Amino acid sequence: MRTLVNKAAALVVAVALLCVGGLAAAQSASTSPVERLVAMEGLLFGSAQEGAIVARLQNIENVVFGESGSGTLPERLDQCWNFVLGDRAGGMNLKFKLKAVQWKIFGKINDGPVVPMLVDLENSVIGQPGLGPIGPRLDILMRLSIAGGRPEVGYSLVPKGSLVKVKLLTPLGSVKARSGDVVKFEVVDDVVFEDRLVIPKGTPVAARVIDTLRPTKMGVKARVDLELSPVDAIDSSPVVLGVEQTTIAANSAVSLAAGEGIRVFGVVGKEGALGGLLSQNPELEITQGAEIFFSVMQTAKVLGLAVPKAK
């Protein structure tokens, strides 16, 4: 029974970390307080924690508020959840603030669970981790990096068809790729619309291998089919990326093909050197660092960070 519970908990964490849609789903009436607790632990620490429910909730409260809360378990969880996610109608969640500080100082972000992100920032900026709850520690970093200590924000639309340039962080090839493998990318250039940063440089992008095809002498090219996970915008809202005709035309170094779903695409190998029906097509080999364009497949509304107007 415990194994089944742990597997269910791990699944909730995985879904929660994919996009804020998964996090928001943990607030629905059909989701139990325990599932929301696990999702919160994934957001803050990167994985579900061990121990009794009350002790785990107290650990979150101490990290977030510096003390244990009062009320029922669902009420206390709501208080933590609302603090971490912020006011979804125009406010900044913790991840937004952390990303804003990172971007202001380093020009890119390094996403991850909230607590490790905060500790890494404190070590880099101040020289040591801070003490006490998250809020005051993050306020110190914001005052050090942002004029007035509070970023200027506003909503922007990320239009369908917009190109997002990423680079491959792990090599990809038709020989070694296996179904279920995770392929990692990273956003190369800031995505800015209406003078607001919506997807910062350094934002991670992940895809899952769903099929591979080896080349043959009968003209079949090597191919690896992948499914992209939605990318987290700066406010943690999901932006759906994929491949369409404009994406294919924009890529010169890599050959892409649209798949059956909006997030599914194929990376296609080259023709054989001799051409013709009986030529041996080469295996597909895409090296680490290769740059690829993806397209925004659905217009997204994102709370963005105000940036200086382009001259």
Domain, as residue range, for 7:
2-85
- pLDDT cut 70: percent of the chain above it: 85
User: pLDDT tier at 180 (50, 70, 90 boundaries)?
Assistant: very high
CA distance 226 to 254: 14
Across residues 67-93, what is the average pLDDT?
A: 83
User: Does 168 fall in a domain?
Assistant: yes
* Whole-number pLDDT of residue 36: 86
**Which tens digits make up the pLDDT trace of 228-242?**
999 999 999 999 999
- Specify which residues 166 forms β-bridges with: 187, 292
**Which tens digits make up the pLDDT trace of 92-119?**
889 999 999 999 999 999 999 999 999 9
pLDDT of 275 above 70: no
What is the DSSP code string of 123-167? HHHTSS---S-HHHHHHHHHHHHSGGGS--EEEEEE-TT-EEEEE
Do 81 and 104 belong together in one domain? no
Do 99 and 171 belong together in one domain? no
Radius of gyration of the chain (CA): 22
Across residues 192-212, what is the average pLDDT?
A: 96
* Whole-number pLDDT of residue 90: 59
Task: Give the distance from CA 164 to its chain's centroid.
Answer: 14
Do 173 and 289 belong together in one domain? yes
Do 300 and 208 belong together in one domain? yes
* Whole-number pLDDT of residue 309: 79
Do 142 and 206 belong together in one domain? no
- Last-in-domain residue among 128, 151, 174: 151
Do 237 and 170 belong together in one domain? yes
User: Does 104 fall in a domain?
Assistant: yes
Do 116 and 231 belong together in one domain? no
* Whole-number pLDDT of residue 1: 36
Give the phi and the psi of residue 20 in degrees, each rounded to 5: -70, -20
Task: Give the distance from CA 217 to its chain's centroid.
Answer: 40
Across residues 285-311, what is the average pLDDT?
A: 92
What is the DSSP code string of the chain? -HHHHHHHHHHHHHHHHH-HHHHHHTTSTTS-HHHHHHHHHHHHHSSPPPS-HHHHHHHHHHHHHSS---S-HHHHHHHHHHHHH--TTT---HHHHHHHHHHHHHSS-----HHHHHHHHHHHHTSS---S-HHHHHHHHHHHHSGGGS--EEEEEE-TT-EEEEEESS-EETTT--TT-EEEEEE-S-EEETTEEEE-TT-EEEEEEEEEE---TTSPPPEEEEEEPPEE-TTS-EE-EE--HHHHHH-SSSEEEE-SSTTEEEEE-PPPSS-STT--PPPPEE-TT-EEEEEE-S-EEEEEEE-PPP-
Angle at 226 between CA 294 and CA 277, to 5 degrees: 100
- Last-in-domain residue among 55, 85, 115: 85
CA distance 161 to 246: 8
Cα torsion angle, 129, 41, 83, 240, sign = positive
Across residues 217-226, what is the average pLDDT?
A: 86
* Whole-number pLDDT of residue 3: 37
